[in-house]
Amino acid sequence: MELLSAITDFAAREPKIFAVILGLIGAAVLASVINVAAMAVVWLERKVMGDLQARYGPNRVGGRWGILQLGADAIKLFTKEDIIPRGADKSVYVWAPIVASATTMLVAGAIPFGAVIIDGREIPLVVANMDISALYVEAALSLMAIGAFMAGYSSNNKYSMLGAFRGVARMIAYEVPMGVCVISVAVMAHSLNLVEIVNAQQSIWFAVAQPLGFVIFAICLITDLGRMPFDQTEAEEEIIAGYNTEYSGIRFGLLYFQEYNMMLLGSILLVLLFLGGWNGPVIPVISFISPMIWFFMKLLIVLVALIWIRVSLVRFRIDQVTDLGWKVLLPLSLVNFVWAVAVGLYFA
């Protein structure tokens, strides 16, 4: 009790410093939670992929479900030698994984991770509840290509360079239709705030209201995440490991985890924008976390769908990817925008 009163005293005396300290603690907690959650995603992917491919997946470390496998992998990555190639642009090479991870945290700061009901009031779990959070998240997602390009450019490796080029070409082609889809959602929700976009879906999900937008956004999202069938930046059968070919040890670990962080955050974004977020009938008895239950169920379905797509499709060629982005998805996303405006006006 004394500690609590001391803290409130301090907060009253030095509100600015207190806010900074609170922000740092919040960022640390957020980063840890996101990374642990990403580890869970990696584990889920390896298990689900194993099941879909008629094999076991991890089943040694941590019991028959291989739960500790990721911990073992992380320890391995931390203890490996950190190699910087002779011809590399050293400072860029060193900073690239950090920039990539920081990008994830930028996205994570503005995304609501569900909501809880306290005293009949719905409280969204979000660090920075900005008015333009949807636009901000979209913009921060596209920064992902910067980290990858830094990594590819600085490695002084031909495969890395090709991977980096492909990443940028792909990002430019897909950021535009993706942005148009976000705007279409905002038009229907009359807001760019992610919490309000979720609240606007209480009666009908936007995936139902604008199915075309949902499909386009999902495709663009997979592209942005660089997952099969859009993983040309690291197509191992063509360019070894693409932009992270030269990385090893914890730097590689950071780049690798960044992808899974993004996969998690991207899936959350899809749930928030199109699948109604945490909306769902209130479950009695545990009503205060019922939004969380709905939210996580939707999230799990999206994640498994992403993994399922990964194990069943053939990789596109890079020219086919950019063709699809510019010639198909962009016009269709504009069609969807017109539809969203028309329907939005009619129901408004």
For residue 86, state whether it binds other proteins (rule: CB under 8 A).
yes
Which pair of structure tokens corresponds to residue 236? 């191992």
For residue 327, state whether it binds other proteins (rule: CB under 8 A).
no
Q: Which residue has the tokens 């492909």?
A: 166
We find the least distance from the C-beta atom of residue 83 to other proteins, in angstroms, to be: 15
For other proteins, the binding residues in 151-170 under the rule CB under 8 A are 158-159, 162
For residue 315, state whether it binds other proteins (rule: CB under 8 A).
yes
Q: For residues 236 and 181, what is the distance between their CA atoms, to the nearest angstrom? A: 31
Which pair of structure tokens corresponds to residue 245? 């070919």
Q: CA torsion sign, 140 to 144 to 150 to 153?
A: negative
We find the least distance from the C-beta atom of residue 236 to other proteins, in angstroms, to be: 5
Pattern 24-63, binding to other proteins, x per CB under 8 A? -------------------------x--xxxx--------
For other proteins, the binding residues in 257-286 under the rule CB under 8 A are none
We find the least distance from the C-beta atom of residue 243 to other proteins, in angstroms, to be: 15
Contacts 24+ apart (CB under 8 A), 338-342: 339/184, 339/210, 339/212, 339/213, 340/184, 340/185, 340/187, 340/188, 340/209, 340/210, 340/213, 341/184, 341/187
133 CB contacts (<8 Å, ≥6 apart)?
110, 111, 126, 192, 193, 194, 195
For residue 232, state whether it binds other proteins (rule: CB under 8 A).
yes
Beta bridge partners of residue 122, listed in sequence order: 117
For residue 239, state whether it binds other proteins (rule: CB under 8 A).
yes
Q: Which of 59, 143, 238, 326 binds other proteins (CB under 8 A)?
A: 238
Q: Which of 8, 20, 320, 327 binds other proteins (CB under 8 A)?
A: 320
- Rule CB under 8 A: which residues touch other proteins? 49, 52-55, 86-87, 158-159, 162, 228-229, 231-232, 235-240, 310-320
